[in-house]
Amino acid sequence: MSKQASHHLGNYHRHIGLKWLPVALVLGVTLAGAMHGCGNANSGSRAANTGGGNGSPTPTPPPNLSPTPTPAPTVSPQSGQFLFAANGSAIWVGRADSGTGQVTSLPTAQTDGATISFLASDPQGRFLYVAQRADTGSSGTTGIGVFSIDAATGSLRRNATSLLPSPPSQLAFDASGKSMYVVENGAVRAFSVSDSGLTQLPGSPFAAATVGSLSAITPSGRFLINVGNGQAAVFAMDSAVGTPVEIAGSPFSTGATGEQSFVVSPNGRFLFILSAGSKNGGVIEMTINSDGSLAPVLECHRTSPKTVGCTTPPTLGPVSPRQGGSAVPTMVVDAASQYLYVLAADSSGFTRVVGLAISTAGGLTTIPGSPFAQEVAPNGIALDSGGRFLYLGSGNGLQGTVFTYRIEGPAGVLTQVSSTTGFTAISNLVTAP
C-alpha cells in the first residue's frame, strides 16, 4: 500500500444532531406595548391638549397584556451520518452530509493503547466495535473494544473491552444489533449486546465445524455463514438461545482460493466472495436459498443444443492478500442490491474500484467506466445508508484523505464530488447507519 500511497501523494437511521432553524420573532406587539407604556407616562399632557369640548379626553384603551406568543423554534435532525477510520490506536471520526456527501472531520478517539485491527458498527449505529491487539510493551488489551456513539455529535465514549485470546478476524451481527458472533477455529463465540458492553452467552464458545475466519449473518437473522478454504459453512441460529446449528448439506463448496472478504447482499439473495490472485482475483457469487443452502451462480446457463445467456465473467485484476489476519472491508453492496464495488489493483499494482452490476437473476457485469478512482489509490471503502454515496479512504504515513463519490443511477457509475484531508493516515473505513 505504501507504493500506492507514494504514487498518489499530493493528489453494512439514528444520527440525530440538533440544528435550530431560523425563527422570525414576533416583535410588533411587544414594541407597541412598550411605546404605549411610554405614552402613559405623559398622559396628563395629552389630556390637556386632547378634548371633545368638555375637557374630558377620550379614554386610552388598556394595553394588550396577552401578546401573540413567539413561535417555539423548530428542531430538525442534522443531516448526514458518521464515518470512522482506524489509525494505529486512534479512531478518526467524520460526519458526511446526506445532501452533498461532503465529509467534515470531528474530534478523534483512542483505544486503551491497543492497536486496531479493524472497525465495525452495529446495524443501528449505536456502537462502534474495535478488534484490537496489545502489542509488546503497550498498555492495551487484546479483544473487542466497545465505544458508544453519541447520536448528536458522533463523539465516542469508550466502554469495557471484552478480552479474547486473539483479535477476531470479523464480527457478525444479527439484524436487531442485540447479538454479535465471532467465528474461531472450531468454535463460535456468541455475545449479547447492551449499553454496558458485551456479555458472552451461557455455553459460549460453542463447538462448531467452522471452515475459516470470515463470517456474516443473513439480513433475516436466520443463518450465520462462515467462509474459508474453498468452503462455506452455514449455521441456523436458534432464535431463543442464539446458538448456531449447522444445516444439512453444510459445508458447501465455493471454489474460492485465498478468500479476502465476503458480503451478503442486503436483499439476502446472494453471497459474494472475493478471492485473491497474483494475476487476477475474482468474485464468486452464490445464491442463498430459503433453507440456508448455497448454490453457485453460473455465468453461462446452457441449454441444448445452443448456449444462451452467456456472459464473460468480469476481470478484476490482482487482489492482494489481506494482512494481519483481519478482514478489512474491501467489497460493498449498495442498499438496493444492484451494485457491487470491489477494491482491486491494476496491472501496475495501484488499487482502484471495480464496479459490477448485479443481475436480479444472478450474474455480474462490469459497470460502464469501471474501474473508478484510479487516481485515489484507496485502502478503505464504505457506503452511506441512503445508497447515494460511496466513500473511499486513502493515505500514507503522513496524511489521510476521504473521497466522496456519487453513485449515479441507473448504471451505478461513480463520480467524485469532494474530498476531505487534514488528518493522519487511515487503514480502513466504516459508516454507522
Q: What is the pLDDT of residue 72?
A: 35
DSSP state of 3: H
Q: What is the pLDDT of residue 235?
A: 95
Amino acid at 310: C
> Would you state the cell numbers that stand for residue 4, as one nine-digit string?
500506492
Can you tell me the distance from the alpha carbon of 316 to that of 374, in angstroms, rounded to the nearest whole number? 13
167 in Cβ contact with 143 (< 8 Å): yes
Q: What is the pLDDT along the chain (433 residues), one digit of tens a residue?
A: 444 434 433 343 333 333 333 323 223 333 334 434 444 434 434 333 444 444 445 555 544 444 444 343 333 334 568 999 888 888 999 999 989 999 998 988 988 888 888 889 988 889 999 988 888 777 788 999 999 999 999 999 998 888 888 888 888 888 888 889 999 889 999 998 888 789 998 889 999 999 998 899 999 889 999 999 999 999 998 766 668 899 999 999 998 888 888 899 999 999 999 887 655 567 888 999 999 999 988 654 433 344 444 455 565 655 555 444 444 558 899 989 999 999 877 666 677 898 999 988 878 888 999 989 877 778 789 999 888 999 998 876 567 889 999 999 889 999 999 998 867 766 678 898 7
Q: What is the pLDDT of residue 302?
A: 39
Tell me whether strands 206-207 and 214-217 are parallel, antiparallel or unpaired.
Answer: unpaired
Tell me the C-alpha to C-alpha distance, in Å, between residue 223 and each of 216, 290, 326, 340: 9, 10, 22, 22
> What is the CATH code for 2-10+83-432?
2.130.10.10
Q: What angle do CA 385, 180, 386 make, to 5 degrees?
A: 5
Q: What is the pLDDT of residue 408?
A: 92
Can you tell me the distance from the alpha carbon of 189 to that of 169, in angstroms, rounded to the nearest whole number? 12
Q: What is the pLDDT of residue 281?
A: 64
Domain definitions of the chain by residue range: 2-10+83-432
Backbone angles phi, psi at 286, to 5 degrees: -135, 150
> Would you state the cell numbers that stand for residue 174, as one nine-digit string?
444479527
HEC sequence for 302-345: EECCEEECCCCCCCCCCECCCCCCCCCCCEEECCCCCEEEEEEE
119 in Cβ contact with 85 (< 8 Å): yes
Burial (CB < 10 A; 0-12, 13-18, 19+), residue 195, is exposed
Q: What is the pLDDT of residue 316?
A: 62
The answer to pTM > 0.85 is no
